[in-house]
Amino acid sequence: MPASTRNSAYLTGLRQGAPFLLILVPFALLFGVVATEAGFSLPEVMGFSMVVLAGAAQFSAVQLMAENAHTLVVIATALAVNMRMAMYSASLTPYLGAAPLWQRALVAYGLFDQTYAVAHARFEARPEMTVAERIAFFAGAVTPMLPAWYGMTLVGAVAGRSIPPQFALDFALPITFLAMVAPALRTPAHVAAAGTSVALALVFAGLPFNLGLMIAAVAAMAVGAEIERRMGAR
Amino acid sequence: MSWSTAGTWAIIVTLGIGTFLMRFSFLGAMGGRRLPDWLLRHLRYTPVAVLPALVAPAVVWPPATGGDPDPARLAAAVVTVAVGWWRKSVLAAIGAGAVTLYALLFLLG
């Protein structure tokens, strides 16, 4: 394949990934501040962001550790929050499965909500893309996000001062995730899946280890798939 | 907080390995093989199934207000979804949600 189409796929990924910096920057900054205030050292705070690289799980782990939860509870909860990564992995396999193993391993490291959302949307809209172009697109999308995630965690940890609660940064995460979902509500099946997801997450919010999240997610996927099957059968 | 350096790093490394294995799971094991249609049909709904569930409790019972429902945060969530659905734009949705949140927090004090 000519390098020029790979380059243009990389640049497209870069362009489509860049807006997500608006989300990652405050989120990473906030993690740096919160984890430092909870008493973690700078290397530990950076360790979370570089080794785990998953915002929601990092916040869950730090929160539970600050409450002196048992080690196993911390690990089980944070991994449960990250179970969706396996769904993302499966979801991208039809598009990237034929790539060399080392490329798939690198994609796996950089696979999180924002990179998944931008990549899945692009791959679905452009079925004619080659596997190499998809890998290039993914690399482009990750390029600005990883340094921003590491760098802003560092800034937050070093600045160390709490961001005033008037900024309501607690709500940056919900707004971000809802904004990522809303444009995807294209069909009745998507709307029903999202509705199921919300309803069951609220009903089962009290369950430990984020089990409510997993139940809601699996049921919502089943609802979406079943409605698609019935509408297709008509 | 009563965590030793070793205890903290054990958690960080365990979470890192566990998370990587989940991210690599299907990409690593399935390779170029085609997944069955019923599974693909489910996977198409992954984002709309997971992300709303991840944030719904925080929207309805925000930790920042001690778990009491907050009109400003609820309205911001509704506006975010409405604008994102209407404009098909993530950034427009975030912008509208943030403006709604800050405006209502200011007005409602």
- Tell me whether A159 touches chain B (CB under 8 Å): no
pLDDT at A196: 97
Q: How far apart are CA A36 and CA A156, in angstroms?
A: 8
Q: Is the pLDDT of residue A9 over 50?
A: yes
The pTM assigned to this predicted structure is: 0.73
Residues 6+ apart with CB under 8 A from A40: A48, A62, B8
With residue A144 as reference, give the H or E element that holds it. helix A131-159
What are the E-state strand segments in chain B?
none
Cross-chain residue pair B55–A174, CB shorter than 8 Å? yes
Contact A31, A148 (CB under 8 A): no
A37–B contact, CB cutoff 8 A: no
10 Å CB burial of residue A195 (0-12, 13-18, 19+) is middle
B-facing residues of A in 138-157 (CB < 8 A) are none
Contact call for A201 and B57, based on CB within 8 A: yes
Query: Structure tokens of B65?
Result: 């207000």
A33 or A81, higher pLDDT: A33
Check residue A51 and report its DSSP letter.
I
> Nearest C-alpha of chain A: how many angstroms from B25?
6
* Residue the block writes with tokens 């596997």: A131
In 3D space, the residue among A131, A124, A125 whose CA is nearest the CA of residue A107 turns out to be A131
Tokens standing for A170? 């607690």
Let me know if A131 is exposed, middle or buried by CB neighbors in 10 A (0-12, 13-18, 19+).
middle
Q: Which two structure tokens, joined as six digits, stand for A169?
A: 């940064």
Answer whether A74's CB lies under 8 Å from A66's CB.
Answer: no
Residue A161 has pLDDT above 70, yes or no: no
Write down the ipTM of this complex: 0.82
Token reading at B14: 């365990």
Q: Domain extents for chain A?
A: 3-168, 185-234
Name the least confident of A159-163, B34-38, B63-67: A159-163
Residues whose CB falls within 8 Å of the CB of residue A230, separated by 6 or more in sequence, listed in order = none
Q: What's the pLDDT at B81?
A: 97
pLDDT digits (tens, 9 = 90+) for A16-64: 999 888 878 888 988 898 888 888 999 999 999 999 999 878 987 887 7
Helices (H), chain A: 3-17, 21-37, 42-47, 55-66, 71-81, 84-96, 101-109, 113-125, 131-159, 172-181, 188-203, 211-233
From B33, B84, B102, residue closest to A179, measured CB to CB: B84
pLDDT at position A233 is 57
Residue A52 burial (CB count, 10 A): 23
Q: Which of A51-65, A133-147, A152-166, B91-105 shows the lowest per-residue confidence on average (mean pLDDT)?
A: A152-166
Cα–Cα distance for residue pair A9/A182, rounded to 1 Å? 25
Report which listed range, A54-63, A85-94, A126-135, is most confident: A126-135
Closest partner residue to A93 (CB to CB) among B27, B63, B87 is B27
User: What are the distances in angstroms from CA A194 to CA A188, A190, A199, B89?
Assistant: 10, 6, 9, 18
Which chain B residue has the Cα nearest residue A90?
B26
Distance CA A38, CA A34 (A): 6
Mean pLDDT of chain B: 90
CA pair distance A30, A23, nearest whole angstrom: 11
CA-closest candidate to residue A34, choices A154, A156, A190:
A156
Of the candidates A47, A89, A104, the beta carbon closest to that of B22 is on: A89
Q: Does A113 touch chain B (CB under 8 A)?
A: yes
What is the per-residue pLDDT for A98? 92
Residues from chain B that touch A62, judged by Cβ atoms under 8 A, are none
